[in-house]
Amino acid sequence: MFITKFIGGNSIFQVKNIKLPYGKIYDYVKESNYKDHIINHKLNILGLKETQNSIHAIKLSGLYNINLENYLDEYNTIAIKNNHKILIDAENVKNQEMINEYSNYCIENYNNIFYKTYQMYRHDTLKVLENDLINYKNKKFGIKLVRGAYHNEDKNTGLLYIKKEDTDREYNNAIQLLSNCDKNVIIATHNNLSCQLSLNYKKKYQYAQLLGMNDKLSDYLLKNGNEVYKYIPYGKWIDTIPYLTRRLYENYDIFRYII
């Protein structure tokens, strides 16, 4: 079944045993469900405790809790103990304001543990990124740069670029902007041209692609001395459907990776 090419397994125990030439980003995929937020929190905690020296992605919509600061405080404590980094994934428009608020909470309260994600298919993101670099100049935080994966859900909000060329331009503008900053930056894209552009700068970026997608690019970056990661999604198969559906919608050529 092709789903296994893009999903690591049901649990952190399966995922951590996967052998890859790249680094791993552990990604528990459960999203927006207020009934399950306690379970989702416990599974995030389990993932953090069962691994060492790793990167973990979290989806705040899957936690859905007004005491989210307490959850993030707990993640931070374990991350320090186990030497982890934590990526706060960007999500759809209805959740993104909340996600930005809590991402900023992490920047203000923690030291280089959390990465904030910036979606460059939005008109307003480059300005947000510029403001964060100014407002948090003396704070240590990480940056993950993406194009965006919720176009189908958010295309009628008026916040997204209509043309792909505009998103590509904005993404590459962000790469250029970040080439002069002292923050850790993950270039999370399958786009060959954007990655090639980033290699032209003296700054040492990190790179991330999805499990099973554009391994040719991942191998090229790795062989040329770059730090490369693969997103390894895991969870119940039914919970991975929204994740996979977005990948199919955003990447029509994904079918060439299925064969």
User: CA-CA distance, 4 to 7, in Å (whole number)?
Assistant: 5
How sure is the predictor about 227, in pLDDT bands with cuts at 50, 70 and 90?
Answer: very high
Query: What are the residues whose beta carbons fall under 8 Å from the beta carbon of 252, sequence distance 6 or more?
Result: none
Tokens of 163: 């043309």
Residue 248: predicted pLDDT: 65
Q: State whether residue 155 is helix, strand or coil.
A: coil
Among 32-36, 157-161, 253-257, the least confident range: 253-257
Tens-digit pLDDT profile for residues 83-93: 999 999 999 99
The model carries a pTM of 0.93
Give me the pLDDT at residue 257, please.
Answer: 40
- Residue 165 burial (C-beta neighbours within 10 Å; 0-12, 13-18, 19+): exposed
Report the pLDDT averaged over residues 197-204.
97
Residue for token digits 């900023």? 104
Strands (E), 70-197: 85-88, 114-119, 142-146, 185-188
Which pLDDT value is given to residue 255? 44
Q: Which long-range contacts (CB under 8 A, 24 or more apart) does 46-51 make?
A: 46/12, 47/12, 48/75, 48/78, 48/79, 48/82, 48/84, 49/78, 49/82, 50/12, 50/13, 50/16, 51/12, 51/16, 51/26, 51/82, 51/84
pLDDT band per the 50, 70, 90 thresholds, residue 19 = very high
Strand, helix or coil for residue 226: coil
> What pLDDT sits at residue 258?
40
| pLDDT band (50, 70, 90) for residue 254 | very low
Give yes or no for a contact between 61 and 67, defined as CB atoms under 8 angstroms apart: no
Comparing 19-33, 180-194, 213-227, the range with the smallest average pLDDT is 19-33
Fold of 2-258: TIM Barrel (3.20.20)
Structure confidence at residue 182 (pLDDT): 95
Residue percentage of the chain with pLDDT more than 90? 78
* pLDDT of amino acid 251: 58
Q: Using alpha carbons, select from 27, 15, 96 the residue that is nearest to residue 240.
A: 27
Question: For residue 247, what pLDDT band results from cuts at 50, 70 and 90?
Answer: low
Q: Give me 11's structure tokens.
A: 């649990």
pLDDT at 3 over 60: no
- DSSP per residue over 41-69, as a string? HHHHHHHHHT-SS-EEEE-GGGT--TTHH
The DSSP element (H or E) to which 230 belongs, if any, is: strand 227-234
How is the chain split into domains, by residue range? 2-258
Instruction: Output the pLDDT for position 256.
Output: 45
DSSP structure string for 10-47? SSHHHHTT---SSEEEEEE---S-GGGHHHHHHHHHHH
